[in-house]
Amino acid sequence: MTYVVIDNCINCKYTDCVEVCPVDCFYEGENTLVIHPDECIDCGVCEPECPADAIRPDTEPGMESWVEMNRKYSELWPVITQKKDPMPEAEKYDGETGKLEKYFSEKPGEGDS
């Protein structure tokens, strides 16, 4: 099992989860985070930390495409281990549906730089 970030994170990008991760398996895109599924140790400490409810175990139905998306972008984006401010309009986008199709950016974030 692994955990993955789903579209609830897009345009919110709360980073509470990255500080509690014991193996630094979060990677930062321009407007979302992903988890490297091969680095995740399935401890689950990140899941309750996410204010947007954007972290799910891969054992839930329909998570296969999210595992692949998290894998793809974790290999392209920089690692993030330190909490940052959320996106400026995070509260506005929190809970919106269909964010992957509407807003997802493939651009990398800044990471820990």
pLDDT, tens only, 37-53: 999 999 999 999 999 99
- Residue 113, pLDDT > 90, answer no
The mean pLDDT value for 63-67 works out to 97
pLDDT at 20: 97
Confidence of residue 26 (pLDDT cuts 50, 70, 90): very high
Confidence of residue 62 (pLDDT cuts 50, 70, 90): very high
10 Å Cβ neighbour count for 73?
21
Q: Which residues contact 87 (CB under 8 A, 6 or more apart)?
A: 11, 12, 13, 31, 93
Confidence of residue 106 (pLDDT cuts 50, 70, 90): very high
Dig out the tokens for 51 from the structure. Answer: 């204010």
The mean pLDDT value for 47-70 works out to 97
